Amino acid sequence: MSVKYVAEPFRIKMVEPIKMTTPEERLEKIKEADYNLFSLASEDVYIDLLTDSGTGAMSQEQWSAMFIGDEAYAGGRSYRKLLKAGEDVFGYEYIQPVHQGRAAEKILMPLLLEEGKFAISNMHFDTTRAHVILAGGRAIDNIVPEGKKPEVRSKFKGNMDVAKLEALIAEKGVENIGMIIQTVTNNSAGGQPVSMQNMRDLYAVGQKHGIVVCIDAARHAENAFFIKRDEAEFKDWAIKDIVKEMFSYGDVITMSCKKDFNVNMGGILAVKDAVANDALIQSIKASCINYEGFYTYGGLSGRDLEAMAVGIYQYMDEDYLAYRIGQMEYLAGRLDEAGIAYQAPVGGHGVYVDAKALFPHIPYTEFPGQVLAVELYKEAGIRTCDIGSYMIGNDPDTNEQIESEFEFTRLAIPRQVYTQAHFDVMADALIAIKERAHTIKRGYKINWEPPILRHFQSKLEPIE
Q: Which helix (H) or strand (E) holds 178?
A: strand 177-183
Q: Which of 5, 90, 92, 125 is catalytic?
A: 125
* DSSP symbol at 39: G
Distance of alpha carbon 191 from its chain centroid, rounded? 7
DSSP-assigned states of every residue in 300-363: --HHHHHHHHHHHHHTT-HHHHHHHHHHHHHHHHHHHHHT--BSSS--SSEEEEEHHHH-TTS-
**Residues in contact with 48: Cβ distance below 8 Å, sequence separation at least 6, in sequence order:** 42, 55, 383, 414
**Sheet of 118-121, strands arranged across:** 94-98, 267-271, 252-256, 213-216, 177-183, 118-121, 138-141
Amino acid at 103: A
Q: Which residue in the list 141, 216, 260, 354 is annotated as catalytic?
A: 216
Is 125 in the active site? yes
Q: Of 259, 349, 422, 434, which is the active-site residue?
A: 259
List, in order, residues 6 or more apart from 216 with CB less than 8 Å away.
101, 121, 125, 128, 181, 182, 183, 184, 253, 254, 255
The residues near 295 (Cβ < 8 Å, ≥ 6 apart) are 96, 284, 285, 288, 289
User: Which amino acid appears at position 57 of this protein?
Assistant: A
The residue among 240, 235, 232, 168 whose CA lies nearest residue 202 is: 168
Q: Is 81 a catalytic residue?
A: no
DSSP code at position 174: G
- The single residue of 44, 48, 52, 126 carrying the catalytic annotation is 126
Let me know if 428 is a catalytic residue: no
C-alpha–C-alpha distance, residues 361 and 464, integer Å: 15
Q: Which of 81, 220, 356, 455 is catalytic?
A: 455
126 catalytic? Reply is: yes
Give the helix/strand (H/E) hosting 252.
strand 252-256
How far apart (Å, rounded) are the C-alpha atoms in residues 353 and 301? 37
Residues 6+ apart with CB under 8 A from 28: none
Of 135, 139, 218, 380, which is the active-site residue?
218
Question: Which of 67, 73, 236, 397 is an active site residue?
Answer: 73
Q: Catalytic residue at 251?
A: no
Distance CA 408, CA 147 (A): 13
Q: Please identify every residue annotated as catalytic.
A: 73, 125-126, 216, 218, 259, 455
